[in-house]
């Protein structure tokens, strides 16, 4: 019996978006490390050159933003303007 398109073969399986135990534990360890060393990280950041600061921010954003972010070049102008103005995107 072949699988039907868009129908799970295991409907009681892992829920969408669920994080496995190892990933959750690793995130907790990293979060604890960062929290414990915030002053040192801030001091190091303050000593960076402006270009290095931007690179640091760029690398850190990859860990807090959704993985698939649409490029501004491909967005319609009205969406870009809405984002810049801080209004909700339609």
**pLDDT, tens digit, for every residue of 34-77?**
889 999 999 999 999 999 999 998 888 877 776 665 566 677 77
Contact by Cβ (8 Å): 82, 90: yes
Query: Tokens 């398109």, residue?
Result: 5
Pick the more confident residue, 81 or 25: 25
Token pair recorded at residue 69: 């972010």
Reduced to 3 states, what is the DSSP secondary structure of residue 29?
helix
Asked if 19 and 11 touch (Cβ cutoff 8 Å), the reply is: no
Whole-angstrom CA distances from 35 to 49, 63, 65 are 24, 16, 19
Q: What's the pTM?
A: 0.48
């Amino acid at each position: 019996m072949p699988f039907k398109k868009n129908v799970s073969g295991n409907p009681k399986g892992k829920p969408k978006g669920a994080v496995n135990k190892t990933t959750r534990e690793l995130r907790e360890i990293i979060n604890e490390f960062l929290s414990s060393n915030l002053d040192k990280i801030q001091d190091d950041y303050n000593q960076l050159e402006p270009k290095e600061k931007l690179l640091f921010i760029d690398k850190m954003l990859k860990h807090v933003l959704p993985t698939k972010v649409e490029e501004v070049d491909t967005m319609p102008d009205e969406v870009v303007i809405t984002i810049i103005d801080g209004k909700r995107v339609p």
